[in-house]
Structure 1
Amino acid sequence: MKIAIFTDTFYPDINGVARTLKQLTNYFDEQKIAYKIFAPDSYSNEYISSHIHRFKSLPFFIYPECRLAFPNLLDIKSELQDFSPDLIHVATPFTIGLCGIYFAKKLNIPLVGSYHTNFDHYLQFYDLPFLSKIVWKYMHWFHRPCKKLFVPSIETFQQLTQHGFTNLEIWPRGVDCQLFHPNYDQEAVQRLYCAQRNFLLTYVGRLAPEKDIETLLAVAKSMPGELNEKIQWLIIGDGPLRDKLEAQAPENITFTGYLNGKCLAEIYSASDLFVFPSPTETFGNVALEALASGTPVIGANSGGVKNIIKSGVTGLLCPPGNVQEFTAAIIQLLNNLPLRKQMAIAGRIYALTQRWDRIFENLIWQYTEVIEEQKEQKYA
C-alpha cells in the first residue's frame, strides 16, 4: 500500500492535525507502508525527511499555525506519477488540500479526507459569524469527492451529519501512555513551579480566542481568597493572545510557552487538575493526555471533549463559558482528595484503552476498503 497525504500543516508545527499526522506516519514507518507527504514549509526547518515535499507558504490570518502554500502543480504531478500512490488522503481544506483533490480526480486515484478543525465555531470568536454559510458550502464542496470522510469524535460525526455530510467514519485519536503516565517525580515539578503553594492547575493549548482562555482567566480570578493562595496555575502554549493574557493575569499564573515531550508529560503528571475551557474542539488531544497522566479534567461540555470526559468519573464537564460552574467544579475537586484519586485511576484506565496502533489498524482497513472498491468499479 502506498499513501499520499496532502496537508496544510505537518510536524514540527504544534497543533492537533500536525501531531496526529506525525503519529500516523510513525505507524507507516513501523509497518513499512510507503507514503509521501505534500505540505507547506515550516516555521522551523529542523525536520527533514525524504518522505516530505514542502512548498513555500505564508501563515493563514485566522490560524497562523496553518499555512497557505504556493504549490507547484507540475512538481506535484511528477512526484505523484513517480510514486504512484494507491490512495490520496486530504487532511486540510486549504491550497495543498485542493491540490490533493485535483490530482485524485485527474489521475484517477482513490480519495479520502479527514475533518480536524471546527472552523465554523471559530468564526464567532473572530467576529466573523456572517461567513458561516459560506464556510459550510465550501466544506461541502471540498469534501464531496471523498469516498470516506474521517472525523475524530461522535460529537463531530453528529454535527456533520446534521449539516448533510455523508460517507462519515469515526477516526478517533490515541495517546502515548508510555510517555504520558502518572509515575514521574511529581515533587520535583511541584518544587519548580508551585513554590509554597499546595495545588497545581494546568492548561495546555493554543492561546487564541477559540480556546476561550478569557473564561480560564476569569475563573482564576474568581477563586475564593483562602483557596486561591494555595493554587498555582500553569498556562502551557503560545499564540496571538499571550501578551494580552499575561498583562491581565494574576500573580499565581505562570506562562511557560510551548512545551512537549517528557517536560510536558511531567507537568501533566504533577498537576492536581487539568482545566480546559475550549468549546471548539473536534477531539481534544490534550484532555486525553491529561487522563493518561492520572490528572482529572475539568472541561467544557462541548465538542469532542465531552466524548472524552465522563463527568463524575474521570473529571467534570461545565457549560461553555460559565465561570461560576468552572469555579465550583475546581473547588469541589480540590476539596475532595479521595474523589480526585479515584478520577485519576479511572482516567488512566480509560486512556490505556485508546491505543494508537489499534486506531491506525482500523484506518488502514478503511483505506483498503476504498482502494478495493475503486478497483472493482474499474473492472466492472
Structure 2
Amino acid sequence: MAQPMSEANSPFPTDLSKLRVALFSGNYNYVRDGANQALNRLVGYLLRQGADVRIYAPKVDEPAFEATGTLIGVPSFAIPGRPEYRFPLALSPRIRRDLATFAPHVVHVSSPDVVAHRAVSWARHRRLPILASVHTRFETYFRYYNMAWAEPVVEALMRRFYRRCDALVAPSESMAQVLRDQRMNYDIDIWSRGVDREIFHPGARSLEWRRSLGIGDDEVVIGFLGRLVMEKGLDVFSDSVDQLVRKGVKHRVLVVGEGPAHDWFAARLPDAVFAGFQGGHDLGRAVASMDVLFNPSVTETFGNVTLEAMACRVPVVAAAATGSQSLVDDNVSGRLITPGAVRQFAEALRCYVEDAGLRARHGMAGEERSLDFSWDRINQAVADTYLRLVRQKSKSRAGQ
C-alpha cells in the first residue's frame, strides 16, 4: 500500500503563501466588466497573501484598465461583429513553455473558450487540480440574436467542459443551483461578489450632478447601469418604459454605460439621459443619484450592478433570475419580476416612482443587506477552494 506523502515531498503546498495559480481568462482587462474586475480583485488578494499567480489571456495595446499581476498574452483575434471582444486561439508552444516553467499547483479557468479547454487538458495530463469559475450564462446570449436554437448545443458543450474540471465556483446560490440542474458539475462552491463601500454609499448622491444633466431635484430617476448590449435586456427595459409613458407616469431615465447597442437604445429612449461610461467615484455618484435601478437582464450570474445600487440605498426592480434572486428580497429591498414580463416590470416601477416612502424603506433594507458582502472574505472562499482541491489531489496521488 502506498504511503502518504509528507508535505515536504508533496508537489502540493498546504499554505496559501506557497501556492502557484495559473489563471486563464478570455477577457482579463481589455474590456471592463464585472467578471474581469472580480478576477483582478481575486488576484490582488492572492498576491497580498503571498501566493504566486500568472494570468494567461488576450492582450491589447490599450486595455480598459491596468492588469493586476503578471499577464501573459495568448494568441487571439477580434470576434466578428463584436470587435471589442477577442477570441483566444490556442495554447501555443510559447504558453506551454511558460506554464512548464511556472509549474502551477492549481489551474483556474474562467471562460469555456478554446484556450481554457486546452488548459484543462494540460492540467489533467499532469494530474493538477482544476477550478472553473462561472461568470455569465453564455448559453442565454443566443436568444438575443435570433439564434435560440443554438442554446441547447452550447449548453451541451459547456457541460462537457465543466465536467472535466474538479470543481466550480459560482457567484450565487441561485446560479449554483442552475448549474446543478444543468448537470454541469456537482462540486460547486460559492464565490460571491463584494462592493466597495468607499465608492458605493448613499452619501455619493449628488443633486448638483443631476442638475448638470438637466434632471430636476423633484424628478424620479429610473436608472440603467451596465454595458449597452442586447443581452442586458435593453428591449425589455425600453418596452417597460414605454408602458410608463403610455400610463402618464412622470419619470426620467438615466443610462450609465457604453456599448455597441448605444444608438439602438438611444433611438428607443429619445428622452433618456445618457451619461456614458462612469468609473470609480464618478460611478458611485451616478448610481447613488438614481431613485430606482431597473435591471431586466437574465444573463448575469450575480448582478454586480444590483448590489452596487443596494449599497447606495437605491431600490432595485430586477428580473427573477440568477444573481438578483440571491440579493433582492422581493417586496422588502426591491422587486423580482418574471423575466420578460413587461407589464409587471412597468407596474413595479410605477409604484416606486409614485411612492417616495416605499423607495426609502426598500432602499434602506437593500443597504442593510449589502453590508454582508466583504471582498476579502469572499475572495478567501476561492483560496479555500484551491487548497481543498490541492489536498484532495494530494491524497489521491498518495493512495495510488
**In structure 1, what is the equivalent of residue 43 of structure 2?**
25
**In structure 1, what is the equivalent of residue 7 of structure 2?**
none
Please tell me the residue identity of whatever aligns with 2:268: Q
CA change 1:95–1:366 in 2 (3 A) is same
* Cα distance, 1:179 vs structure 2: 1.6
- Indicate the SS of the match to 2:146: coil
Aligned-pair Cα RMSD in Å: 2.1
* Cα distance, 1:13 vs structure 2: 1.8
Does 1:341 pair with 2:370?
no
Q: Distance in 1 between matches of 2:21 and 2:326?
A: 30
> Does the CA-based 8 Å contact 1:6-1:99 persist in structure 2?
no
**In structure 1, what is the equivalent of residue 256 of structure 2?**
236
Does 1:199 pair with 2:217?
no
CA change 1:155–1:76 in 2 (3 A) is same
Please tell me the residue identity of whatever aligns with 1:89: H
**In structure 2, what is the equivalent of residue 217 of structure 1?**
238
**In structure 2, what is the equivalent of residue 116 of structure 1?**
135
> Does the CA-based 8 Å contact 1:151-1:172 persist in structure 2?
yes
- Indicate the SS of the match to 1:183: helix
- 2:199 maps to which of 176, 179, 183: 179
Q: Which aligned pairs between 1:135-214 and structure 2 lie closer than 5 A?
A: 135-165=154-184, 166-196=186-216, 198-214=219-235
Q: Distance in 2 between matches of 1:259 and 1:122?
A: 25
Give the total of aligned pairs. 378
Which is worse superposed, 146-155 or 51-60?
51-60
- Indicate the SS of the match to 1:223: helix
> Does the CA-based 8 Å contact 2:40-2:67 persist in structure 1?
no
Q: Distance in 1 between matches of 2:247 and 2:213?
A: 19
**In structure 2, what is the equivalent of residue 266 of structure 1?**
285
* Cα distance, 1:274 vs structure 2: 0.6
> Does the CA-based 8 Å contact 2:172-2:323 persist in structure 1?
yes
* Cα distance, 1:227 vs structure 2: 5.8
What percentage of aligned pairs have identical amino acids?
Answer: 27
Q: Distance in 2 between matches of 1:129 and 1:195?
A: 39
- Indicate the SS of the match to 2:204: coil
CA change 1:172–1:63 in 2 (3 A) is farther
Does 1:350 pair with 2:350?
no
Q: Distance in 1 between matches of 2:207 and 2:281?
A: 15
CA change 1:226–1:301 in 2 (3 A) is closer
* Cα distance, 1:48 vs structure 2: 5.5
CA change 1:49–1:329 in 2 (3 A) is closer
**In structure 2, what is the equivalent of residue 330 of structure 1?**
349
TM-score, normalization: structure 1? 0.93
**In structure 1, what is the equivalent of residue 307 of structure 2?**
288
Which is worse superposed, 97-106 or 359-368?
97-106
Q: Distance in 1 between matches of 2:339 and 2:51?
A: 41
**CA displacement 1:213-272 (0-9 Å, x = unmatched):** 11211222222579654x221112222321122123232x02233222111110111111
- Indicate the SS of the match to 1:36: strand
* Cα distance, 1:199 vs structure 2: 1.6
Which is worse superposed, 199-208 or 215-224?
215-224
Q: Which aligned pairs between 1:65-144 and structure 2 lie closer than 5 A?
A: 66-71=85-90, 73-144=92-163
Report runs of 4+ in structure 1 exceeding 6 Å deviation: none
For structure 1, which runs of at least 5 residues remain unmatched after alignment? none
Does 1:10 pair with 2:31?
no
Q: Distance in 2 between matches of 1:370 and 1:323?
A: 44
**In structure 2, what is the equivalent of residue 302 of structure 1?**
321
- Indicate the SS of the match to 1:58: strand
CA change 1:292–1:329 in 2 (3 A) is same
Please tell me the residue identity of whatever aligns with 1:2: R
TM-score, normalization: structure 2? 0.88
* Cα distance, 1:161 vs structure 2: 1.4
Which is worse superposed, 296-305 or 97-106?
97-106
**CA displacement 1:133-155 (0-9 Å, x = unmatched):** 32122112111221111112222
- 1:278 maps to which of 284, 297, 308: 297
CA change 1:17–1:207 in 2 (3 A) is same
Q: Distance in 2 between matches of 1:310 and 1:48?
A: 35
Q: Distance in 1 between matches of 2:195 and 2:88?
A: 30
> Does the CA-based 8 Å contact 2:74-2:95 persist in structure 1?
no
Which is worse superposed, 196-205 or 312-321?
196-205
Q: Distance in 1 between matches of 2:80 and 2:330?
A: 36
**CA displacement 1:100-129 (0-9 Å, x = unmatched):** 212212333211111222122222111112
* Cα distance, 1:176 vs structure 2: 1.4
* Cα distance, 1:62 vs structure 2: 7.3
For structure 2, which runs of at least 5 residues remain unmatched after alignment? 1-18
Greater RCO, 1 or 2 (C-alpha within 8 Å, sep 6+): 2
